[in-house]
Amino acid sequence: MKAVFIAYNQAYNMEIADALLEQFGQRGFTMWRDIEGRGSVGGEPHLGNHAWPTMNNALLTIVPDDKVASIMAFVSAKDKETPGLGLRAYTWNIEQSY
């Protein structure tokens, strides 16, 4: 199993959650709303203040290994459509769960 962490501009919120639920059949996830951040690649800060008013959301889900490639491809395609929104995804191994 893998953990998939996705950070994204709040404008993507329902699109990301709906894709996980419907397109990938992933029932479980944890979401954080209204988080601050700045990407390392070149996007604008999302700090929720006067100068940088947008905010980010983040989502964490644990998926079977065979779903990872398709989820990452979905995130990559969305990022290429609108690179300024700062969509990023990361994975790591899950050793145990109960």
Question: Does position 73 have pLDDT exceeding 90, yes or no?
Answer: yes
**Gap between the Cα atoms of 78 and 63, Å rounded:** 20
Say what the pTM is: 0.88
The pLDDT value recorded for residue 23 is: 87
Q: Which domains, and CATH codes, for the chain?
A: 2-93 (3.30.70.120)
Q: Are 5 and 60 in contact (CB under 8 A)?
A: yes
The band of 65, judged by pLDDT with boundaries at 50, 70 and 90, is very high
Tokens standing for 95? 């050793």
State how far the alpha carbon of 57 is from the alpha carbons of 8, 29, 37, 94, 97, in Å: 6, 13, 10, 22, 25
Give the CA dihedral 26, 5, 14, 53, nearest 10 degrees.
170
Question: Does position 39 have pLDDT exceeding 80, yes or no?
Answer: no
Mean pLDDT over 68-95 rounds to 91
Question: Does position 48 have pLDDT exceeding 90, yes or no?
Answer: no
